[in-house]
Amino acid sequence: MAERLDRHRVAIATGLFAAVLLVGALTQFLPRLTRQGEVVSNTPVRSDFAAVQPIVLEPGARVCLGDVTFDPAVRSAQLTFAPSATGSAPTRLTLEAFAPGYRASAATEIARGQGGRLDIPFAPPRRGTIGTLCVRNSGARTTALAGTGDPRALTRSAIVVDGQRTGQAFSVTLHEAGGRSLLDRTGQLADRTAALSAVGPWLVWLLLPLLLLGVPAAVLVALRLALRDPDPPAANAQADLGRSSRRDRQ
Amino acid sequence: MNAVTGLARARRAPHAIGHRSRTLAGRIRRTPAPLALLLAVTAVLGLAWSVVMPPFQGPDESDHFAYVQHLAETGSAPSSTEFSGAGSYSTEEGRALDLLGLRATLANPTARPMWSEVDQRRWEQFERELPANGRSDGEGADPAAKNPPLYYAYESVAYRLSPDTSLFGRQLVTRLASLLLLLAAVALVWVAISELTQRTWARVLATGVVALQPQLSFIGTIVNPDILLVAIWTAFIALAIVTLNRGPTTARVLGLFALTALSPLTHGRGIALLPPLVAVLALIWLRHRPARRDVVRWLGGGLALLGVALIAFRLYTSGNGGGALYGGQVAAFQQHSLNVREFLSYLWQFYLPPLPVLEQRLGPPYGFRQVFIETFFGTFGSLDVRLPGRVYALLQVGSVLGLVALYTAAVVRWRELRARWDLLLALLAVGLTGIVFLHVVSYLALVGGPDPIVVGRYLLPLIALFALAVTFVATSLPRRLGPLFAAVVLACGVLLQLAGLGLTVIRFYG
CB count in 10 Å sphere of residue B505: 21
* Any A CB within 8 A of B118 CB: yes
- A156 vs B contacts (CB less than 8 Å): 98-99, 101, 104, 114
Query: What is the DSSP annotation of B360-428?
Result: PPPSSS--HIIIIIIHHH-EETTTTEE--HHHHHHHHHHHHHHHHHHHHHHHHTHHHHHHTHHHHHHHH
**Buried b / exposed e along B319-348 (16+ C-beta atoms within 10 A):** ebebbebbbebeebeeeeeeeeebbebbbb
**So what's the pLDDT on residue A161?**
76
In sequence order, the 6+-apart residues with CB closer than 8 A to the CB of B364 are B450, B452
pTM over 0.80? The answer is yes
Which secondary structure element, helix H or strand E, spans residue B237, and what is its range? helix B226-246
Q: Do B502 and A29 touch (CB under 8 A)?
A: yes
Q: Do B38 and A250 touch (CB under 8 A)?
A: no
Size of interface A-B (CB pairs under 8 A): 262
B202 touches B475 (CB < 8 A): yes
Q: Do B34 and A207 touch (CB under 8 A)?
A: no
B221 touches B50 (CB < 8 A): yes
Q: Do A199 and B294 touch (CB under 8 A)?
A: no
Tell me, what's the ipTM? Answer: 0.91
* Any A CB within 8 A of B165 CB: no
CA A107 to chain centroid, in Å, comes to: 28
Q: For residue B13, with 0-12 CB atoms within 10 Å meaning exposed, 13-18 middle and 19 or more buried, which class applies?
A: exposed
* Any A CB within 8 A of B115 CB: yes
Closest-CA residue of chain B to A129:
B118
Question: A95 - beta bridge partners?
Answer: A106, A135
* Any A CB within 8 A of B481 CB: no
Question: A174 - beta bridge partners?
Answer: A42, A77
Q: Do B44 and A173 touch (CB under 8 A)?
A: no
Which secondary structure element, helix H or strand E, spans residue B187, and what is its range? helix B167-196
- B101 vs A contacts (CB less than 8 Å): 43, 155-156
* Measured distance between the N- and C-terminal CA atoms of chain B, rounded to whole angstroms: 44
Over residues A24-39, the pLDDT tens digits come to 999 999 999 999 999 9
Of A153, A155, A223, the CB nearest to B201: A223
Q: Do B249 and A241 touch (CB under 8 A)?
A: no
CA distance B313 to chain A (A): 32
Of A21, A238, A242, the CB nearest to B491: A21
Of A42, A241, A244, the CB nearest to B112: A42
Going residue by residue through chain A, which has 250 residues, state the pLDDT in tens, using 9 for 90 and above.
Answer: 556 667 888 999 999 999 999 999 999 999 999 999 999 999 999 988 777 888 988 899 999 999 999 999 999 999 988 766 555 566 889 999 999 999 999 999 876 555 678 899 999 999 999 999 999 999 888 888 899 999 889 988 888 877 778 889 999 999 999 889 999 999 999 999 999 999 999 999 999 999 999 999 999 999 999 998 877 765 454 456 665 445 554 4
Going residue by residue through chain B, which has 510 residues, state the pLDDT in tens, using 9 for 90 and above.
Answer: 343 344 444 444 444 445 555 677 887 788 999 999 999 999 999 999 999 999 999 999 999 999 999 999 999 999 988 888 899 999 999 999 999 999 999 999 999 999 999 999 999 999 999 999 999 999 989 999 989 999 999 999 999 999 999 999 999 999 999 999 999 999 999 999 999 999 999 999 999 999 999 999 999 999 999 999 999 999 999 999 999 999 999 999 999 999 999 999 999 899 999 999 999 999 999 999 999 999 999 999 999 999 998 887 777 766 654 444 444 555 555 666 788 889 999 999 999 988 888 878 888 989 999 999 999 999 999 999 999 999 999 999 999 999 999 999 999 999 999 999 999 999 999 999 999 999 998 998 898 888 888 999 999 999 999 999 999 999 999 988 999 999 999 999 999 999 999 999 999 999
Dihedrals φ, ψ of B354, to 5°?
A: -65, 150
Please report the residues numbered 90 through 109 in chain B whose beta carbons come closer than 8 angstroms to any beta carbon of chain A.
97-101, 103-106, 108
B77 touches B320 (CB < 8 A): yes
B257 touches B307 (CB < 8 A): no
Closest-CA residue of chain B to A191:
B115
B82 touches B90 (CB < 8 A): no
Q: Do B196 and A129 touch (CB under 8 A)?
A: no
